[in-house]
Every structure is written in structure tokens, then in C-alpha cells.
Structure 1
Amino acid sequence: MDKNFQYNKPWILQRADPYVYKHTDGKYYFTASVPEYDKIVLRCSDTLEGLKDAPELEVWHKHDRGPMSKHIWAPEIHYLFGKWYIYFAGSDVDDIWALRPYVLECQGPDPMKHPWIEKGKIQRAATDEFSFEAFSLDATVFENKGQWYYIWAEKVGVGKQISNLYIARMENGYTLATDQVLLTTPDYDWERHGFWVNEGPAIIKRDGKIFMTYSASDTGINYCMGMLTADEDSDLLDPLSWKKERYPVLKSSSEHVVYGPGHNSFTKDKDGNDILVYHARTETEIVGDPLYNPNRHAMLMKFEFVNGRPVFDYD
């Protein structure tokens, strides 16, 4: 990164749920929720910092009616099973909280030039009767020991529902091979501001360990990041393989004028530094419903591993 780059400051304005993917050829791709929640956009650059001013391409637009016609949220771009995929959530204009996870598949090797087609809703395993029956969103995928895994948030319960995080192994880019397994539920007070929420999972691996960050509480200034850790040799579909941190690993800082940090992803810059990509606000007074306030901005944080674990520090 440029030595004059300002970390933990607005980097790409009004882009919530930012996701950066660095491909094997070194190119960087960026996608995020746009304030209108009506489309999926991509940027591409040879450098991480270049994404800021890279032209933005709309690769897909919401439907007028039915599924995928409202609340197009939290897209992520990944390359797996030899193809490009975008994972995102969408609801129905006639049932705006009927969020479900969907998939786009690119029909060629260049995600900026070749067409994307809809693969529909993620298909659960044949034996799974529960997944994606309720409010579901924020899917991410990761590989370990030659297997691909899918993690997502889904609400359960009655009344004011609780958002948990689940994991399953994947059969292909749009089908799950195993039943859902509950990874984490909002156990602690810092996960329960406004709503009881665990969402926005992201994976980083280092020295035989798998770290899963996630976001907690409502989308205002109480939004923060928690973390779970597993050994790469463990059974990742066993909840006991994952250890949950008692306290958030990143939260609001009035000193640094960063409020509600969360829904992150991970990447590396050209110098090999680990970079946390996240969204946050720069004000405490939010006009209207925080969910529809556009001022969540993508930011970057350089971080290091200390005693084998990632440490997120604004300084």
C-alpha cells in the first residue's frame, strides 16, 4: 500500500458489507451492498488501493417481482470448482423480510466481461429439512483440506427472531452436501443490542488454524466483530471444534471516529500485509433506520498475528 494511505478511514464511500477477493493471477475484485439494495456491482484492479477509483460494473439487477426483487444484500465473489460465483441474499417485494441466499455463476473466465447466470437459491442437502426456510443471508465459502464449506446466517424462533450462524460442506458451487450445523448463537450482551444477531462470517487461515470473524448486534453503532477459532485438522462440522471468544475483537472507537465496524472480509496487499476490509460509520447520530442509512463506508485495516492469532487494532 502507498505509505500515505490512511487506514481506518472511509475508503470506498457508501459501500456496506464490503468483500475483496484476490485471485490467483493477482487481480483484486471488490463487491458490496449498494444503498439502493437493487443490484450487484463489481470492480477490478491490479492493486488493492486501485479498487477505490476503479470503474464499477453492474453484473446483475434485481427482479421486478417475486424472489430476488428486494433487499439485494452482501454479495461475495469467489472462485471454486473451476468457476466464478457470486453469493448474495435477496427478498421479495411482496414479502420484504423473506430473505434467502442465491447464487450467480459466471459463464467464462473473466468475471468483468463474461455473462452471469442465475443458479437460483442455494440447494440444501437432501436430508436437510431446515436450512433456508427462514430469513437467511450473509453466506461465505472457504476451502480446507480439499473440501469447500458454506457458512451463513439464519434466523430461528418466534416473534423477535434470533440470527445464528450455520455451516455445511458443499457438493458444488450451489448445492450443499451435508445438513446444517449450528456454529454460534448470540450468547453475550454485546451480541444482543437491538437484535440478537450473529451474521457476516469471514474466514482467514494461518499456521494450521482457521479463524472465523462475524458481526453482532444491530446495524447501528453497537455493531461489532466476534471471532471463533478451529484447528484445520479438526472436524469443522463438529461445533465443539470451534472456540468462541468471550469478548468482541473489534468494536466502535470514538477516539478513531469509527462506529459500528463489521461485516468484514480479508485480503492481502501487494506487499503481503494482512488487510481487514470492513464497513463502519463516522457519525453516532444516524438519520432514520440504520439499515437504510447509506453512510456505512468500506474501510481498510492493516493487522498482524500475535501469538498465533489475528489482532485488530485501529492504531
Structure 2
Amino acid sequence: MLIRTLIFILLLQAAAGCSKSQKKTDPKDDKPAPVVATFKNPLLSSGPDPWVIQKDGFYYYMNTQGNKISIYKTKALSQLDKAEVTVVYNAPASGADSKNIWAPELHFLNNKWYIYYTAGSSGDLSTQRMFVLENSDTDPTKGTWVVKGQIKDEAADFFAIDATVFSKNNKNYIIWSGHISATDNTQRLYIADLADEPWKMATPRVEISAPQYDWEKIGTPDVNEGPEILMNKKGNVFLIFSASGCWTDDYSLGMVSLKENGDPLKAADWTKSAQPVFTKKPENGAYGPGHNGFFKSADGTEDWIIYHANPRAGLACSNDRSPRMQKFTWNPDGTPNFGEPVKIDVAITKPSGE
């Protein structure tokens, strides 16, 4: 009887042990890692002149690197520091585009990819001009990038930087910052019609903005640069640009609006806002915010701005400029409301859909 009792107790203990073991390995008890719903600015420690384009579920990001052009590919801009990075162009040893590669922008036109970038032939910045690369692959990080050469107004081949492209009414336009002559240093904004070959201009340039307000004239010379186009749901066109010298803490964003049904090539159809639309916020670690881009959240429901800024005063146009992004809204009159630069190193809700 005693033996039977001992056997029964041992069987109960074994069963309990099996039950505990099973409980430990039950997949229902394996909790997934918590989802991180926030990110912090800056997105990278360095990244002047940030640019973003979305296509086929991916974001493609670029910034000034000086001697090369790289493309960051990611599905989530909030995780830009983990993106796949591909160098697509290295500066040649000599030539017209061998120095100071600035502000590359990636655009998809006529079923091909194009990169518009600024470069010069020497350390003399007066040699800075705009150039174009072409790639026929569906993925801009693959295939072969072909040099198409300088894009210019043949009658006004002066200092020219920061090219961007936009489409309206089935026409493509190029906008950039440049000088009116070889002897004038004021940076103005110009527009021209693109030819069917997107590395050529089809019309002479038209000036659509020049520094006129005090906030555009901080630092010498006076500067309007970094033009970027933003459209609202109604199709209204806003040109957001960077004003004053990037070497000042007061680099900021201004806005020029195209009148409804206006002609982009008609200067009188553009109107500049008297006040800047995005300015420094020292207490948030944002000095000289500017040279921006725009994108939609992954699910298409939110509008976001990406821009660079310095974390401290006096850092000028250096590689300390880092890329930051934040959501923006729209005013009742249809104009964008960018608010103020958000504080660095503070948790921000990720774009919707990430």
C-alpha cells in the first residue's frame, strides 16, 4: 500500500512538472516586442539640404555630401539612420562638376529618374552651376546613372544652384537660385520651362523672386535660394524658399504664391508673403532652419516638412546642419502652416502608417 501511494505521488509531481514546462513554452505567453510609436529629431547627425521623394512604397532621401551623391532608401523616414545607402555618383577628379556637390534632388520624369545637383570646377564658388544625371531603372539605387551635363539658360550662364522641378498642367518646370549677371552677387529665384529632354531648358529664365524684405537680407550678399514647390488639395501652388545667408542663424523660409490659374512663367502671377513662414527657435535647438522638402505620411493622410537646422548658434553653413522633420497643417485660406521648429531629442509621434 505504501509503495502504491509513493508511486501515485511521484506521478502527480511529474505531471505538475510537465504542466509547468508546457506553460513556460506556450507560444500564447510569448509577448511581442513593444511597437515604438515615436522618433526624435535630428534624423541624422549631419545632412544639409535634405530632399525626399516617395515612389512605389519607398522614400528616397538625399542631402549635400560635397564630393558624392548618395540615395537613402527606406519605408520609414523616422528610421532614416537605418536606411539602405547607395552611392550613385562620385565627383570626378577635375572638370565643371568636380567640386562642391550641393543640394541633389531626385525626380521621376518621363518614366526615368533624374538627379539635379549643383557643382563647380574649383573652390571659387562663382563656378557653381547645375547638372543632371539620368537613370532608366525602376529603382534609382540600381541601374546606371548617366551624366547628361549642365542644364542652363544659354543666354544667362551665370552662378546657378539648387535646382528643383515641378509639374503643372502636363508641363514640367525648373526653378533655381542664381545671379542676374556675372558681376551681381544677389541670389534670385528663376523659372524656365523644361524641354522634353529634362536636362535642357525650353525657354529663357524668368525672375520670380528677389530679396526685398529685411528678413531676406541678413548676411551679405542678399539671398533667395533652396526653392521647393508645395501644392494643396485644390492645386494651389506655393514656392517655399530659403532666405538670408546660410552662414547666419537667421536663415529662414519664405513663401511666394502663384495666383489661381496663373502662368508659372509670368512673374506678375507670383506674390511674395511679407513675413517668413518658418524661423529659428533657439530654445528648441533650431538655428537657421531652411532648405527643405515635403512628403506625405506612409498612408497618405498627413503632410510633413523635412529641413535642416543647426543645434547651436554660430555654426554657419557647416556639416553640423542636421535633417529634421515634422508634421504641418493648412490654414483656412489654403496656405501651409508650418508652426515652429520642434525641439530636438524629444519624442515625436511617427508619421501615420509607419
Q: What is the alpha-carbon distance in structure 2 between the residues aligned to residue 232 and residue 116 of structure 1?
A: 37
The aligned counterpart of 1:109 is 138
Is structure 2 residue 204 aligned with structure 1 residue 176? no
- Give the counterpart of 1:306 among 303, 312, 331: 331
The aligned counterpart of 2:295 is 267
Q: 1:59-208, aligned counterparts within 5 Å? A: 59-93=88-122, 95-124=124-153, 129-130=155-156, 133-157=157-181, 161-171=185-195, 172-194=197-219, 195-206=221-232, 207-208=234-235
- Give the counterpart of 1:4 among 38, 41, 52: 38
Give, in angstroms, the shift of residue 51 of structure 1: 2.6
- Give the counterpart of 2:242 among 210, 215, 222: 215
Q: What is the alpha-carbon distance in structure 2 between the residues aligned to residue 29 and residue 158 of structure 1?
A: 35
Report the 3-state secondary structure (helix = DSSP H, G, I; strand = E; otherwise coil) of the residue aligned with 1:156.
coil
Deviates more, 1:224-233 or 1:82-91: 224-233
Larger radius of gyration: 2
Q: Is the 8 A contact 2:158 2:182 kept in 1?
A: no
What is the RMSD computed on CA atoms of the aligned residues?
1.7
Q: Is the 8 A contact 2:130 2:152 kept in 1?
A: no
- Give the counterpart of 2:272 among 244, 248, 251: 244
Q: What is the alpha-carbon distance in structure 2 between the residues aligned to residue 258 and residue 105 of structure 1?
A: 35
Is structure 2 residue 53 aligned with structure 1 residue 28? no
- Give the counterpart of 1:17 among 49, 54, 63: 49
Give, in angstroms, the shift of residue 88 of structure 1: 0.2
The alpha-carbon distance between structure 1 residues 251 and 43, as it changes in their structure 2 partners (threshold 3 A), is: same
User: Matched residues, percent identical?
Assistant: 35
Give, in angstroms, the shift of residue 94 of structure 1: 6.3
Q: What is the alpha-carbon distance in structure 1 between the residues aligned to residue 284 and residue 113 of structure 2?
A: 37
Give, in angstroms, the shift of residue 156 of structure 1: 2.8
Q: What is the alpha-carbon distance in structure 2 between the residues aligned to residue 242 and residue 151 of structure 1?
A: 13
Given the two structures, how large is their TM-score scaled by the length of structure 2? 0.81
Q: What is the alpha-carbon distance in structure 1 between the residues aligned to residue 36 and residue 305 of structure 2?
A: 16
Select the structure that is richer in helix: 2
Give, in angstroms, the shift of residue 77 of structure 1: 0.3
Report the 3-state secondary structure (helix = DSSP H, G, I; strand = E; otherwise coil) of the residue aligned with 2:126.
strand
Is structure 2 residue 327 aligned with structure 1 residue 284? no
1:209-251 deviation digits (Å, cap 9, x = unpaired): 1011000111131110000111452111111111101011011
Residue type matched to 1:50 in 2? Q
- Give the counterpart of 1:38 among 67, 86, 99: 67
1:273-295 deviation digits (Å, cap 9, x = unpaired): 10101000110032xxx23x210
Q: Is the 8 A contact 2:158 2:181 kept in 1?
A: no
1:108-149 deviation digits (Å, cap 9, x = unpaired): 22211111010000143xxx512xx21110000000010001
Residue type matched to 1:18 in 2? P
Given the two structures, how large is their TM-score scaled by the length of structure 1? 0.91
The alpha-carbon distance between structure 1 residues 20 and 99, as it changes in their structure 2 partners (threshold 3 A), is: same
Select the structure that is richer in strand: 1
Structure 1 residue runs without a partner (length 5+): none
Report the 3-state secondary structure (helix = DSSP H, G, I; strand = E; otherwise coil) of the residue aligned with 2:215.
helix
Q: Is the 8 A contact 2:176 2:190 kept in 1?
A: yes
Q: What is the alpha-carbon distance in structure 1 between the residues aligned to residue 136 and residue 181 of structure 2?
A: 39
Aligned pairs, number: 301
Report the 3-state secondary structure (helix = DSSP H, G, I; strand = E; otherwise coil) of the residue aligned with 2:290.
strand
Q: What is the alpha-carbon distance in structure 1 between the residues aligned to residue 199 and residue 182 of structure 2?
A: 29
Give, in angstroms, the shift of residue 68 of structure 1: 0.8
Q: What is the alpha-carbon distance in structure 1 between the residues aligned to residue 297 and residue 178 of structure 2?
A: 32
- Which runs of 4 or more aligned residues in structure 1 lie more than 6 Å from their structure 2 counterparts after TM superposition? none
